[in-house]
Amino acid sequence: RRTVTRPIVDGIIWSLEQEQALDVLAMNVRTTVVKLAADGSLVVFSPQAPTGEFFRAIDALGPVSHVVLPTYALEHKVYLPAFCRRYPNARVWVADGIWSVPIDLPLPLLGIDPSSGGVLKRAEDRGADDVAPPWADEIDYKVLRVDSAGANPYVEAVFLHAASKTLIVTDLVLSIPATPPEVISRERLLNLAPNDPADAPAADTEENLKIGWAKASLVVSFLGPSRQSQIKGGAYDGKLKWEPGFEASFEKISDRLIPSPILRTLVFSKGKGPTRRFVNEVCDDWGGQFETIAPAHYDAPVPGDCASLRAAFAFIDD
């Protein structure tokens, strides 16, 4: 997998992106890296596929002292064991309540051992024996837990790097760009661009890349967007056929700060109480302390403050 490295805050925070794709599902997934002012070492959030290019990019930024697993989603935790083998002295920190499927195994059996670091808990769950991370003076954190989202809780830790006024999140909110991220396969997007798969691939133009990206983003966001249908039988069995009008659907979700549409439906709308309390806690405690947001998918950094965050979650008060 290709890795694209970009600064989020010059000399302090970086984005390392890879493509996360399966057939028509395509998006970028991001490792966020913060350099600590105290000693110049790195805190790495959700390491990605352990390629040589990825590790060279990390090493070029500085020595790794800590690695953080903020949530349970597979794409954010699956590569953590390989990362820990590469950096055995890095202390591991995980959000409280991380679980796995199909069997909820103890983290050490998954190759994730937080004994070198610790568990990041909600403020109300912290006890006298819980140790604050050494980076807590520079990077504060809060943990969202929604227990009404299904058999297992939705868990996500978010982080405030106050010095740069940056809020680091994983899946809480995102901003889908109108143009595809650099790391996304051009070939994949050109194959998605035609409304009829029989016409694929489309000509290699920027406009066709944007069309393919819009369709890929709609599929990722809704799984079954209203303007597409699955072909049954024939040479293109299982492929997607699109109808005019998908462009308007994409415009409604692109270039704006929103929760993932899937998480909005399956998690946040079912757990309005804990979601509302969490957003209020973030804004009450950190209000005025962040001006940009760095999600783990799509655009980063994204302009965003507490007003933006409250607006993104306005639906929980409907």
pLDDT digits (tens, 9 = 90+) for 17-34: 999 988 778 999 999 999
Strand-pair partners of 241: 229
Note the pLDDT of residue 289.
98
CA 208 to chain centre: 26
Better pLDDT: 146 or 108:
146
Is the pLDDT at 238 greater than 80? The verdict is no
Q: Where are the alpha helices (DSSP H) in 46-110?
A: 52-61, 74-77, 80-86
Cα dihedral across residues 103, 109, 112, 116: positive or negative: positive
Is the pLDDT at 110 greater than 80? The verdict is no
Note the pLDDT of residue 318.
79
Is the pLDDT at 232 greater than 90? The verdict is no
Note the pLDDT of residue 201.
95
Is the pLDDT at 221 greater than 80? The verdict is yes
Note the pLDDT of residue 226.
67
Strands 64-69 and 42-45: parallel
Give the Cα separation of 184 and 197 in Å (integer).
19
Query: Rg of the chain's alpha carbons, rounded to an integer?
Result: 20
**Mean pLDDT, residues 299-315 taken together:** 98
Name the helix (H) or strand (E) containing 65. Answer: strand 64-69
Q: Amino acid letter at 87?
A: Y
Q: Hey, is 67 helix, strand or coil?
A: strand
Better pLDDT: 177 or 240:
177
Q: Exposed, middle or buried, 101 (CB in 10 Å: 0-12/13-18/19+)?
A: exposed
Note the pLDDT of residue 103.
60
Is the pLDDT at 250 greater than 70? The verdict is yes
**Mean pLDDT, residues 87-116 taken together:** 81
Query: φ and ψ at 161, to 5 degrees?
Result: -100, 95
pLDDT digits (tens, 9 = 90+) for 125-177: 998 888 899 999 999 999 999 998 777 899 999 999 999 999 999 999 999 99
Strand-pair partners of 71: 156
Q: How far is CA 67 from CA 6, 46, 93, 112, 135, in A?
A: 19, 7, 6, 11, 11
Burial 278-300 (b: 16+ CB within 10 A, else e): bbeebbeebeebbebbbbbbbbb
Give the Cα separation of 309 and 282 in Å (integer).
9
Note the pLDDT of residue 213.
97
pTM above 0.85, yes or no: yes
Side-chain-side CA neighbours of 241 within 13 Å: the count stands at: 10
Note the pLDDT of residue 96.
93
Give the Cα separation of 221 and 230 in Å (integer).
17
- The domains located in the chain, with CATH, are 4-175+257-317 (3.60.15.10), 186-253 (no CATH)
Confidence of residue 194 (pLDDT cuts 50, 70, 90): very high
249, 261 in Cβ contact below 8 A?
Answer: no
CA 99 to chain centre: 17
Confidence of residue 233 (pLDDT cuts 50, 70, 90): confident
User: Average pLDDT of the chain?
Assistant: 93
Give the Cα separation of 79 and 200 in Å (integer).
33
**CA–CA–CA angle 236, 237, 242 (5° rounding):** 70
Closest C-alpha to 43, from 159, 188, 199, 165: 159
Note the pLDDT of residue 109.
66
Confidence of residue 67 (pLDDT cuts 50, 70, 90): very high
Confidence of residue 253 (pLDDT cuts 50, 70, 90): very high
CA 13 to chain centre: 16
